[in-house]
Chain A
Amino acid sequence: MSFDIPYLDDENIEGTAADLLAKHHPSRTVPVPVERIAEIGLRIRVYPFPELYNTHGLNALLTGDQKVIFVDDKQYREYIPKARFSIAHEVGHHILHWKYCQDLPYRSIDEYVRWRLELPRKVVDRFEIQSHIFAGFLLMPTDELLEVCKAVVDEHKEELKILKPSTDPWPYIADDVAKAFEVNQPSALIRIQNSNIMSRIAIPR
């Protein structure tokens, strides 16, 4: 049996994330309460998992029955912005991909191991990338991202004026944006870069 995940463009993924927010966080206040959406809204348990990252190289995982998201214990306790992104990523798998998992072709652990090892790299990459994009849209919805970026630029306009013309101001702006959304700075910067927000805000120079 083949197992594939169809291609979804960003617009499609953003729409799906917006639908989830409309249902479980209609006020769209930031930071988006992703643990609340998972645990209370979707009834998926979110539990810390000791050494998940150090031993297995995983930030988080969603169990096959879709009932539990395990998050690396250290990340859950100490790196909350990262944990929030990991949880949003697993929620993405649940929302985007669960429907393709209704009849998986393994009936034992050995069969599972063979099946998982033979899963083509491009399939794994596709579902991982889609969930990653979903997490960005869920935690940083575009309208709210634009508003927060405008507010940060406005708040720091005098400091931005003294930056050298050759200095890219967006990594600095992303610092404060990340704090507002309770995500890591690189996640915020990538979302800003991948949207058309940079062209919609004039930076005082």
Chain B
Amino acid sequence: MAWKPEFGEFCRDKRIEKEMTLREFCREHELDPGWLSRIERGLLPPPKSAQLRTKVAAALGLEESSEEWKVFHDLADLCAGRLPERAADDERIREMLPVFFRAIGKEETNEAELRKLIEALQRELP
């Protein structure tokens, strides 16, 4: 299940505008990269706590009361109030299916393993 990703996309765009990788950004602002990556993909709702929202907004370089600050909080409110969307549809998954991979230590991939990977991928898709 995924939340509408607008809030996450906004956060990601702002992070990239600051030219910071996920690792650099999280390290500098003491955020968990697993958590932020799920926020950016819309797999988690925006943070509920005002303190955490303010921390993320400040980390993204948004000035208090600026237009972007308002957009950030409006999107957070909007996305937090929504029900999660159903999982990505087949067409979306098909586009994301990896072509290049080889499991470590295995001669060939079998169908069960491949389908298990697709299911896991479905849960992680932006």
Residues of chain A having any CB pair with chain B under 8 Å: 35-36, 39-40, 43, 45-53, 55-59, 61-65, 67-68, 70, 73, 76-77, 90, 93, 97, 101, 104, 106-109, 112-113, 116-117, 121, 124-125, 127-128, 131
Interface residues of B in 91-118 (CB under 8 A from A): 93-111, 113-118
Verify A47–B37 contact, CB threshold 8 A. Answer: yes
Verify A131–B37 contact, CB threshold 8 A. Answer: no
Contact of B104 among A58, A121, A127 (CB under 8 A): A58
**Residues in chain B near residue A113, CB distance under 8 A:** 111, 114-115, 118
Verify A109–B124 contact, CB threshold 8 A. Answer: no
Verify B100–A109 contact, CB threshold 8 A. Answer: no
Residues of chain B having any CB pair with chain A under 8 Å: 12, 16, 19-24, 33-34, 37, 40-41, 90, 93-111, 113-118, 120-121, 124-126
Verify A57–B104 contact, CB threshold 8 A. Answer: yes
Given contacts A48-B37, A65-B95, contact A56 B117 (CB under 8 A): yes
Question: What CA separation (Å) do A9 and B68 show in the bound complex?
Answer: 49
Question: What CA separation (Å) do A70 and B19 show in the bound complex?
Answer: 20
Question: What CA separation (Å) do A59 and B98 show in the bound complex?
Answer: 13
Verify B124–A108 contact, CB threshold 8 A. Answer: no
Verify A47–B94 contact, CB threshold 8 A. Answer: no
Contact of A109 among B16, B19, B23, B94 (CB under 8 A): B94
The 7 closest A-B pairs by CB, nearest first: A57-B103, A47-B37, A63-B96, A93-B100, A61-B98, A35-B21, A39-B21
Q: Could you write out 8 A-B pairs with CB less than 8 Å apart? A: A39-B21, A45-B40, A48-B37, A49-B124, A56-B120, A64-B96, A116-B109, A117-B109
